[in-house]
Amino acid sequence: MGSNPIGTPIPEIEIDASLVHRLLTEQHPDLAELPLHRVDAGWDNVMFRLGDRLCVRLPRRRVAAKLIEHEQTWLPQLPELPIPVPTPYRLGYPGQGYPWRWSVLPWLKGVTADQQEPDHHQAQRLAAFLRSLHVPAPPDAPSNPFRNVPLPDRAAFVEERMQRLAQKTNLMTPEIKRSWNQALNAPMDGEITWIHGDLHPRNVLVEQGVLAGIIDWGDMTAGDRATDLAAIWMLFSKQAVRQQAIVAYGNASEATLQRARGWAVFFGTVLLDTGLVDNPRHAVIGERILQRVAKGYI
């Protein structure tokens, strides 16, 4: 990666309601007359609300096309989880000039966790979710070159961004650098398990303080559970609540927690660096994460 900051990726195909309606008419005609409107777009996918109970999710970049296939194949095979996840309701295929697979999903209520922090008693609920998810994955589980790799493999990617942020902000504190270096040196212990892989606040739904859904499973893979444990710093602002989550999760070694803090630095750095280019919402999320890591061990 060069030294120029990179913001939100440019979509490789334009997706509007007319295209989605044509796809539905062709492949799922019983759903085609439901009200349809665009609600959001992320780095990889575009989301449309479909009626009251459904939504349509379509990749906007080629790199995301394989990720949605992972969701379609593997989400139905995960163990039962205590927080709702959007297991595909219908599968969509290339058509109408659109080149990739897509999904009709259940609509999960709530707002993203950057807009409403979960209540403190949700620390135990998050821990129960992670315990349920973090079980051994089958040998043919999807590989992910960005998430099922040891944190040191991402060091150059992150440290370039850290250097850039050190010139733009005051957030690259000695505590952040210490946490990052501890994480890079922490041994990989424990088994490889299923992980969500991208549990930042925009992929967590909250309704009236309760964790209401975990969305965007495109990065799901077999990897280091510390990648997901980073969510403890990403979701909870109070140190005591983060401690409750760690205790409730249980069986997390000192090395695992060091790696989790490192993954929190990873997410905070990437969200802040890209967010400062063209996404203020991501910049705020990244700043919050880094401030929490810098305040103390938990």
pLDDT tens by residue, 166-192: 999 999 999 999 999 999 999 999 899
CATH 3.30.1370.140 for domain 17-107, yes or no, is no
Domain spanning 112-295, CATH class: alpha beta
User: For residue 46, how far is the Cα from the chain centroid?
Assistant: 15
Q: What is the mean pLDDT of residues 40-60?
A: 94
CB neighbours of 165 closer than 8 A, spacing ≥ 6? 171, 172, 269, 272, 273, 276
Q: Residue 99 pLDDT > 50, yes or no?
A: yes
More confident position, 297 or 78: 78
CB neighbours of 185 closer than 8 A, spacing ≥ 6? none
Q: Residue 100 pLDDT > 60, yes or no?
A: yes
**Per-residue pLDDT at 1:** 33
In this prediction, residue 59 has a pLDDT band, given cuts at 50, 70 and 90, of very high
Q: Residue 5 pLDDT > 60, yes or no?
A: no
Q: What is the mean pLDDT of residues 4-11?
A: 72
More confident position, 42 or 209: 209
**Per-residue pLDDT at 2:** 36
Q: Residue 217 pLDDT > 70, yes or no?
A: yes
Tokens coding 226: 């510390």
Q: What is the mean pLDDT of residues 136-154?
A: 93
User: Could you tell me the residue ranges of all domains in the chain?
Assistant: 17-107, 112-295
Q: What is the mean pLDDT of residues 251-272?
A: 97
- Provide long-range contacts, Cβ within 8 A and 24+ apart, for 277-284: 277/5, 277/6, 277/7, 277/8, 278/7, 278/8, 279/7, 279/8, 281/114, 281/202, 282/202, 284/114
Q: What is the mean pLDDT of residues 253-279?
A: 97
Q: Residue 115 pLDDT > 50, yes or no?
A: yes
**Per-residue pLDDT at 42:** 81
Q: What is the mean pLDDT of residues 220-246?
A: 97
Tokens coding 41: 């777009």
pTM for this entry: 0.94
Q: Give me the percent of the chain exceeding a pLDDT of 90.
A: 90
In this prediction, residue 222 has a pLDDT band, given cuts at 50, 70 and 90, of very high
Q: Residue 3 pLDDT > 90, yes or no?
A: no
In this prediction, residue 6 has a pLDDT band, given cuts at 50, 70 and 90, of confident
**Per-residue pLDDT at 190:** 85
In this prediction, residue 298 has a pLDDT band, given cuts at 50, 70 and 90, of confident
**Per-residue pLDDT at 8:** 77
Q: Mean of the per-residue pLDDT values for the chain?
A: 95
Q: Residue 296 pLDDT > 70, yes or no?
A: yes
